[in-house]
Amino acid sequence: MGAIISGLGISLPDNVLTNADLERMVDTSDEWILTRTGIRERRILPKDSPLLASDLGAAAALQALQRAGVRADQVGAILVGGIVPDMQFPSTACIIQEKIGAKNAFAFDITAACAGFVYGVNMASLLIDSGQCDHVLVIGAETLSRAVDWTDRNTCILFGDAGAAAVLSRGPKDRGVIRSLLRSDGGAADILKLGNLAHGTACINMDGKHVFKLAVSEVSRVVVDTLALEGLTAANLDLFVAHQANVRILNAIGEKLGLPEEKVMVNVQRYGNTSSASVPLALFEAEAEGRLKPGMLVGLAAVGGGMAWGCNLVRW
């Protein structure tokens, strides 16, 4: 039996922050943001909103369950990516478990920053393949606006808030997650980080150029390597759904893989970089646009602080 993605869900704040809004906050321009990143707008929780990462994650999870036709009490595990957890502990995953009533699940957070969803899909497929779980929720629950220095134009234009979730379920053998490959390099920990409140560095800090280069070279490499393990090449991919950080990164990876534009999913223009929520949010929109058809070979990929990156190949 395969571990199929049986349902997707999203939860987005209503509040839209446009490039024009940012022009009034820092020394930037719509033109600079658009040409350097492709981003036009992002969703941001209002400063005084009581909502936490777990609220976005729980709402997305409930929609994913409903679309999968799976009850919360059938979920065996909840794996949550997110860089601004509700608390240091308990995990956001346990808080979401309670909010959605998944009383038979075990739950924990995955600290792999923007790669959290791709890491989670790998773990979920192993839990299902091993027979330990029938259904696993993998969630990206991100309130990045709470970790952004709104006076730093290098970073504040990039990020958005979102929750997005996938239910993975035991399904037919010829569908689902075929293969995953994950990689990490702690030697590059300094190029993208969010410090500890106790150390007074609790804002996202990034060496953008360094991250850009690593993202392009390593994501292309891990996708090629994952495909090769199955005797496949990028030409076999029907759709590539990668972490949405910057349209220039997506174009450069697409070019390296030799993928035509229509096979590369892009929605960063509407949401900015939503970290671990970005891949399931892009998948959700790809499905809504009718771009996911049964039998398609879909490549998921992401890279984030750690550095941590990886790829999942999914037969839709």
Residues identified as active-site: 114, 243, 273
Establish if 209 lies at the interface with ligand UT7 (CB under 6 A): yes
Pick the closer one to ligand UT7 by CB: 115 or 177: 115
How many residues sit close enough to ligand UT7 to count as binding (CB under 6 A)?
20
Q: Given the rule CB under 6 A, which of 3-11, 55-63, 152-160, 171-179 is the region that contacts ligand UT7?
A: 152-160
Q: How far apart are CA 236 and CA 2, in angstroms?
A: 20
Residue nearest ligand UT7, Cβ-based: 208
| Smallest gap from residue 104 Cβ to ligand UT7 (A) | 33
The contact mask relative to ligand UT7 for 171-200 (x = CB under 6 A, - = no) is ---------------------x--------
Binding flag, residue 246, ligand UT7 (CB under 6 A): yes
CA 202 to chain centre: 21
Q: Provide, rounded to whole angstroms, the least separation between the CB of residue 271 and ligand UT7.
A: 12
Q: Which of 56, 114, 268, 298 binds ligand UT7 (CB under 6 A)?
A: 114
CA atoms within 13 A on the CB side of 147: 28
How far is residue 244's CA from residue 235's CA, in Å, rounded to a whole number?
21
Q: How far apart are CA 157 and CA 79, in angstroms?
A: 28
Give the residue with the Cβ less far from ligand UT7, 64 or 157. Answer: 157
Stretch that binds ligand UT7, among 5-13, 126-134, 176-184, 205-213 (CB under 6 A): 205-213
Identify which of residues 68 and 301 has a Cβ nearer to ligand UT7 in the complex.
Answer: 301
As measured in angstroms, the least distance from the Cβ of 4 to ligand UT7 is 27
Q: How many CB atoms lie within 10 A of CB 149?
A: 14
Of 159 and 316, which has the nearer Cβ to ligand UT7? Answer: 159
Residue from 76, 90, 171, 208 touching ligand UT7 (CB under 6 A): that is 208
Q: Which amino acid is at 117?
A: F
In the complex, which residues of this chain contact ligand UT7 (CB under 6 A)? 28, 32, 36-37, 114, 153-154, 157, 192, 206, 208-209, 211-212, 215, 245-246, 249, 273, 304
